[in-house]
């Protein structure tokens, strides 16, 4: 394993343990952190998909206020992304394994803002989704973040739905992280070039596997995702440190 990758895994697992030691948090603190995570997640993921709203404008829309000069589509992307996160969190709380229905539900919410009726799919799409679900189970002994990064690359490469699949892929990435008790990996818009380059390299994954190559083709993507997850942990720990330090 790449030495930098191994070190990052140690750091993120240590941060996860530190946060677990601070639990339970006061209800208002947990709620504020959840809102902060959601805001950053929605803004950066939408920006990566081409949405032109600023972080502040995204926050205003989440508060129920219309932003002048911005399209209805941009407003809907914020609201629908929020609702998809809510549904994802419900799936994670239920410890619901990811299946074709769950993927379709999140896709439908992102596209329409509603859970039903589910988006119609073609036989080709059904086959792609079935293949993705079949490859979703992590190999024994593989770190969940490594598997999540590799499956994220696979989902992007498969492109099971028309148009952009990035927002959905990032939702599914964080579903996997939530089920493994990690905070969301929020890929920063400023890392767009690194992200795109890592995804382009990871597109060779199927070819590498077919040739039985041993060189990991998604180290760059895994590093970026783990750094994003670690950034969320560090932000969270920094915000709750004064609270955790208070005497009981």
Q: What is the pTM of this model?
A: 0.91
What pLDDT, on a 0 to 100 scale, did the predictor assign at position 214? 45
Q: How many domains does the chain fold into? A: 1
- Asked if the structure places residue 246 within a domain, the reply is no
SS3 assignment, position 146: helix
pLDDT for the residue numbered 243: 54
Where residue 242 falls among pLDDT bands split at 50, 70, 90? Answer: low
- For residue 199, the domain's CATH number is 1.10.3290.10
Distance from C-alpha of 98 to C-alpha of 176, rounded to nearest angstrom: 8
Residue 248 domain flag: no
Q: Whole-angstrom Cα distance, residue 190 to residue 187?
A: 8
Q: Assess if residue 143 is contained within a domain.
A: yes
In a domain, 42, yes or no: yes
Q: What is the pLDDT of residue 245?
A: 44
Question: What range does the domain containing 82 cover?
Answer: 3-241
Band of pLDDT at residue 207, cut at 50, 70 and 90? low
- Local structure of 67: helix, strand or coil: coil
**Residue at 213 is within a domain:** yes
Q: What is the mean pLDDT of residues 176-188?
A: 96
Q: What DSSP designation does 139 have?
A: P
Cα–Cα distance, 155 to 171 (Å, whole number): 11
Rounded to the nearest integer, the mean pLDDT of the chain is: 90
Query: What pLDDT is recorded for position 241?
Result: 74
* 247 lies in some domain: no
Whether 33 is covered by a domain: the verdict is yes
| pLDDT higher than 80, residue 12 | yes
Q: Of 131, 130, 127, 109, which is closest to residue 119 (Cα–Cα)?
A: 109
Is the residue at 192 inside a domain? yes
Q: Before 117, cis peptide (omega within 30)?
A: yes
How does residue 196 score in pLDDT terms, banded at 50, 70 and 90? very high
What's the pLDDT tens digit per position in 103-160? 999 999 999 999 877 778 899 999 999 999 999 988 888 999 999 999 999 999 899 9
pLDDT score of 143: 94
Q: How far is CA 199 from CA 53, 80, 155, 224, in A?
A: 24, 25, 10, 11
């Amino acid at each position: 394993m790449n030495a930098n990758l191994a070190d990052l895994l140690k750091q993120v697992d240590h941060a996860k343990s530190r946060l677990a030691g601070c639990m339970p948090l006061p209800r208002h603190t947990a709620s504020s952190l959840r809102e902060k995570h959601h805001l950053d997640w929605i803004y950066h993921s939408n920006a990566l998909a081409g949405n032109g709203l600023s972080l502040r404008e995204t926050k205003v829309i989440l508060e129920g206020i219309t932003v002048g000069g911005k399209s209805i589509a941009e407003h809907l992307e914020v609201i629908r992304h929020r609702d998809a996160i809510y549904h994802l969190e419900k799936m994670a709380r239920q410890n619901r394994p990811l299946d074709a229905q769950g993927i379709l539900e999140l896709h439908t919410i992102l596209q329409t803002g509603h859970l039903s009726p589910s988006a119609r799919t073609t036989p080709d799409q059904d086959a792609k989704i079935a293949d993705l679900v079949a490859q979703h189970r992590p190999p024994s002994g593989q770190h969940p973040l490594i598997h999540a990064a590799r499956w994220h690359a696979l989902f992007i490469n498969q492109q099971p739905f028309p148009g952009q699949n990035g927002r959905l892929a990032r939702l599914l990435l964080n579903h996997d992280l939530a089920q493994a008790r990690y905070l969301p990996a929020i890929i920063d818009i400023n890392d767009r070039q690194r992200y795109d380059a890592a995804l382009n390299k990871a597109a060779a994954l199927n070819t590498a596997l077919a040739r039985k190559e041993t060189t990991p083709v998604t180290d760059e993507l895994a590093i970026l995702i783990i750094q994003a997850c670690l950034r969320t942990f560090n932000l969270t720990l920094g915000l709750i440190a004064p609270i955790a330090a208070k005497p009981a």
